[in-house]
Structure 1
């Protein structure tokens, strides 16, 4: 019970959180920041991929997402296959029991309705379906907040994602592309809204004062290059290594060209799996001008990108951090969501395909980006102000949708004093 005698709201957060992906954890951090401000009496816990990390980092109780600990390892032996199969059955009951203990469950951001990277239907798509179906079954409101989506080819994955979205009590998306994709897959999106990515709600971090790169008078400005263990999409499994090699060779050649011009390069990652790419580039270029950042959060990434003259990045949330920090940015785009983000922030002309990195062409685009740096910084400052205002609307809408008892009085008061005003669709 709260100090006013009202029962405490029980809120669950759900997803591949604490599993090494900085973007996913940044979305969680943004939602927790909102909940602690708007609903300070709420009791919050998580069902997630890395419960120990989530508890240690964010101070909330957390439960492991999957009963079977080898869920994301390839099952080649009969025992492992049986363990995975049994785990799917056990998870159905575990998920329903967890959902039942909550008034609201929030899935914070993330690309939970897409398959732009390799994805098996009986992995996370199945877990998300269990969540949304359990919510409908036990009467707990499930909210997909600021999520990413894309049209999915695999029939099983598409069916699980479609039903998950249909069963959710609330949906909002991080771009028009996501909402359009869900509509194309048969979901009624007439009442769904589009807002900026949740990471734009995080505090803007100050630039790092120190760098591992050598200091020199009038030295050329540093460049952050965000890399990724990129192997293509879910449909590219048979060509994954070829795609990865082409990507790595192109990025390495680009970094080498910058170093030959005397530019310090700072390598960034966004997931634990990206470390091998950093090592390969460091070994290939072998220059003291190339260093690797040890970023443990989106705040760390924002500090790195704020300190740079320019950013070239692949991972979606590397781009978000760079754009939010106001640094001129060029996207090595691996999915339409990257193009949509860059367009939204006024830098749509600065995208280069991650599948076919052409170091020469990339260098030309980079030089054009730097020529227009001053104007692009002004554009980013304006777009960031707009994003902040739109996310304030997102939080207000979320509260109205999921906490109707609290907002009923607030809405009545506003109506009595100011009258009601229709909300405009976020662009």
Structure 2
């Protein structure tokens, strides 16, 4: 009997807490349902993944400067060479596995600025290698959205078509892939993988505290022409809102979800110079959940900040930048409390915040009920995924050096 060989793939360990939270949820499931599985990663931050999760990890790209802007001839040449080397590296890594899982993340969307030769190209190499080499590639609980750029759209569409298993974190994602020409009749929809993480216990609510989750937001792929304007309006609106909270005697706890978000935290703290405004430095979604659980109310932008707040049962107002956030809020019974991150209006945001607080007790009960239903649904899907992907026996497994 040979243990099943499982790879996990993505921009993991790169500073995005949502991506790492999805990985953690999948690893927890594998350790429970398949304790003998041998797991390793091909990812953006291999050192972080190995240190934090205890699994071997390989760097996703041969070129260490993959995500730095290249202007010099040497840097451009290195990027081009890296794309060719990564074909071989990715195929060699895929070949060593029985199953490769892409855990959650918005890998089939372009709601944030994205170039086709970046992660979409890497995902295509993964899925094509899996199809050619007989390794099952599973896109589990991923996000998807309509994509206008032809090259990015083509890479995403073919990646999805070549995958052996697909499931989505909301109905809009499945609909988007169907609209892009992917057959989705057998594809499932289930809650985001982060909902499988345990809810922290023993937290005590601190009356008068509001968590404000911020984001280094410049719009999406289609907003590049006015990215600076969107960013300025977003930051100015959040600053005005935080100033209102401070003037109202509230304590404000600023939250992030990616390393780049600290620039927005710094801008807010510089503009609202008050000891009532502090910033958390969360290292995981579990840490984020602890922060949101102690608050009276949460106002957040990043998708997984919203998940943490909702899962902790705290009334939440969303600054939404994509349909996935609106869908999540509606699913959890808070669809009325969404505000566009592209068009932040501080006065209207304050009015929505006041309305949210008036229904705080009622909404906490609603969230408790919705969280129970979500947990059951996600557990059922993970069981189905295991049945579909993992063979019951590996007595005739392929050679290690195939």
Which digits, 9 at most, give the CA deviation of each residue in 1:278-330, with x for residues without a partner? Answer: 00000100001100011000000000000000000000000000000000000
Selected match of 1:288 from 275, 284, 300:
275
Q: Distance in 2 between matches of 1:314 and 1:44?
A: 33
Q: Are 1:370 and 2:365 matched, yes or no? A: no
Whole-angstrom CA distance in 2 between matches of 1:58 and 1:387: 25
Pick aligned residue for 1:194 from 189, 194, 199: 189
Name the SS for the 2:392 alignment partner: helix
Equivalent-residue separation in structure 2 for 1:208 and 1:36 (angstroms): 27
Partner of 2:237: 250
Are the counterparts in 1 of residues 8 and 101 from structure 2 also a CA contact under 8 Å?
yes
CA–CA separation in structure 1 for the residues paired with 2:214 and 2:125: 33
Whether the aligned pair in 1 keeps the contact of 2:205 and 2:294 (CA below 8 Å) is: no
* Separation (CA, whole Å) in 1 of partners of 2:391 and 2:4: 12
Q: TM-score, length-normalised on structure 1?
A: 0.91
Q: Which residue of 2 aligns with 1:383?
A: 370
- The 2-side partners of 1:144 and 1:281 are apart by 37
State the Cα deviation string for residues 1-54 of structure 1 (Å, max 9, x = none): xxxxx1110000000000000000000000000000000000000000000000
For 1:12-91, list aligned pairs within 5 A.
12-91=7-86
State the shift of 1:377 in Å.
0.7
CA distance in 2, matches of 1:210, 1:163: 47
Deviation of 1:405 after TM superposition, in Å, equals 2.5
Task: Give, in whole Å, the separation in 2 of the partners of 1:350 and 1:375.
Answer: 14
CA separation in 1, counterparts of 2:29 and 2:109?
A: 25
Q: CA deviation at 1:404?
A: 3.5
In the alignment, what sits opposite 1:259? 246
Q: Which of the residues 179, 182, 189 maps onto 2:174? A: 179
CA-to-aligned-CA distance 1:256-278 (integer Å, 9 cap, x gap): 00100000000000000000000
Q: Gaps spanning 5+ residues in structure 2: where?
A: 395-402
Alignment: residue pair count:
394
SS of the counterpart of 1:236?
helix
Partners of 2:338 and 2:238 in 1: CA distance: 14
Q: Deviations over 1:62-103 (max 9, x none)?
A: 000000000001110111111000000000000000000000
Tell me the secondary structure at the aligned position of residue 131 of structure 1.
Answer: helix
Partner-residue secondary structure (3-state), 1:356: coil
2:159 to 164, 177, 195: 164
* 1:354 aligned onto 2:336: no
Summarize the alignment of residues 110-149 of structure 1 with structure 2, pairs less than 5 Å apart: 110-149=105-144
Check whether the contact 2:205–2:296 (CA below 8 A) recurs between aligned residues: no
Contact 2:204 2:293 in 1 (8 A): no
- Quote the residue 1:338 is aligned against: 325
User: CA-atom RMSD, angstroms?
Assistant: 1.2
Superposition pairs for residues 186-335 of structure 1, below 5 Å? 186-206=181-201, 208=203, 221-335=208-322
Q: Which residue of 1 aligns with 2:399?
A: none
Task: Give yes or no for contact 2:45–2:59 (8 Å, CA) kept in 1.
Answer: yes
- Partners of 2:210 and 2:393 lie apart in 1 by 47
Q: Secondary structure at the match of 2:166?
A: strand
Pairing of 1:90-105 with structure 2 (within 5 A): 90-105=85-100
User: Higher mean Cα deviation, 368-377 or 199-208?
Assistant: 199-208
Q: TM-score, normalized by length of structure 2?
A: 0.97
Q: Secondary structure at the match of 1:70?
A: coil
Mapped partners of 2:40, 2:263: distance in 1: 33
The answer on whether the counterparts of 1:207 and 1:304 sit within 8 Å (CA) in structure 2 is no
Question: After the TM superposition, which segments of 4 or more aligned residues of structure 1 sit over 4 Å from their partners?
Answer: 207-211
Aligned counterparts of 2:378 and 2:323: Cα–Cα separation in 1: 22
